[in-house]
Chain A
Amino acid sequence: MATEHSRTAARLMVSPAVILLFLWMIVPLAMTVYFSFLRYNLLMPGMESFTGFDNYYYFLSNSAFMDALVNTLLLVGGVLVITIFGGVALALLLDQPFKGQGIVRIMVIAPFFVMPTVSALVWKNMFMNPVNGMFAHIAKTFGFQPFDFLAHAPLASIILIVAWSWLPFSTLILLTALQSLDQEQMEAAEMDGASWMNRFIYLTVPHLTRSITVVILIQTIFLLSVFAEILVTTNGGPGTASTNIPYLVYAQSLLNYDVGGGSAGGIIAVILANIVAVFLMRMIGKNLET
């Protein structure tokens, strides 16, 4: 299919995309690396000086970093646990025949299309607000003291909000995977006398494993950079109780004007994300061959 003419044309036509993505990947990243070795404060322009690994040292040894790292992991882990277990359960449920399948499917998927700022604000005000929120109203109806979610369990609340946004994603993908399960294989197993439980364990679960891996990896990429939900609900607080690494970098560089420190944090975030990315790329790459 290829002649020298078409190969030359192909190289020409792919190059704008390659050049743009290359610049996008290399230029800002190189600048971040460069800044991370500078003492650079936005309030004192022109005073930049080389500091070696100081920024990394300060960023890593700051107790806020450990908090942020732990929070990031809890956030990613918490949301993953909820969305994977919830997603498998929901997918299995929605895969059964029932009345109004189409509508229920649409309702379940809907949260994915809600922009993060909206979902965060809606949960914060309409549901978790200790005075006027729905949960407070319900608590009062049953004679309990309303609970101030975002003040007393900020991270758990954010996990809940983010999980609500991502549950549709895992459900949709696992449902798609379930529907591609070979029905004849299932029937053959039934003929062979496999019980519902056995069919689930020996056929459904292995079939879903690959999709679950994909869901975990892709969600992790996005969950590592959760930002808007924190910005509009807790601003990372109280203290650092709900600060994750992206938020910490943002606060360091644009709220504290410490460009050097923020950059060092950014590089650490890149390294963390790359560890996940390596697994994800392998997964997708393997898939490309089939």
Chain B
Amino acid sequence: MSHTQDKASALKQGVLIGVYLAVLTALEYFIAISFMSVTVLTLVAVVKAALVAYYFMHIYKLNEEHEGGHDSFEYKTGTNRLGLWLFLLSDSFVFGGLLVSRFNLLGLERPHLNQLLGLAVTAVLLLSSFFMNRAETSMAHGDTKGFLNGILITILLGTGFLLGVVGVEWRLAAAEGLTASKNVVGGIFYMMTGMHAFHVLTGVIFLGLVYRNGRNGYFTKEQHWGVEAAAVYWHFVDLVWIFFYPALYLIGTLS
């Protein structure tokens, strides 16, 4: 596990992954405006998702062996971790179903949306994942202050994302006549962004609870399953957006 990593190299890794993700997102945008290949866009999204799943969500921890007995904290945390990942697996079927519906109904058409805003909210969410990662690694090194700051920034960025999508993008779309009941393009757009925003909202609430409990000294360097769970969940929400962003903004021609 990465707690054998020292603090500086954890930071270095976080920054590196953040940069990779940013570059790949820019690449996506370039592909979309230059030659729009669905296959290449999908591939890039898969690479981004793999980076997030491995480095931010540390999926490899599922494989960890635990020394203590079944009643030890480590063993129970391992069980909790499995439970959380099973939940995410289940949840990903919801988002998968939405993606399937989107391509079944709209084919290679996409809704008319504000590209700049799309890029901005994507960047905000990505950045929030970086700070979430900072918060978690800080906790793992016993740095409560860094942890609290990281969580706080993540919450702010998450709220910013919500405002951007629900507060601005929805308004702009509606102003251009794309309402939920107008046609199926509107239906899909509001359903996908709405379902995702709902998950972001629950994530923000979850982070709020973690922040409060963390301020009350609930977590320690060794025992902070709550922080890890919030982080993994938060990154998962980001991972979903990695697929939703091209599906809504980049792939296809305007409808």
Bound pair: A and B?
no
Give B residues with C-beta under 8 Å from A: none
Give A residues with C-beta under 8 Å from B: none
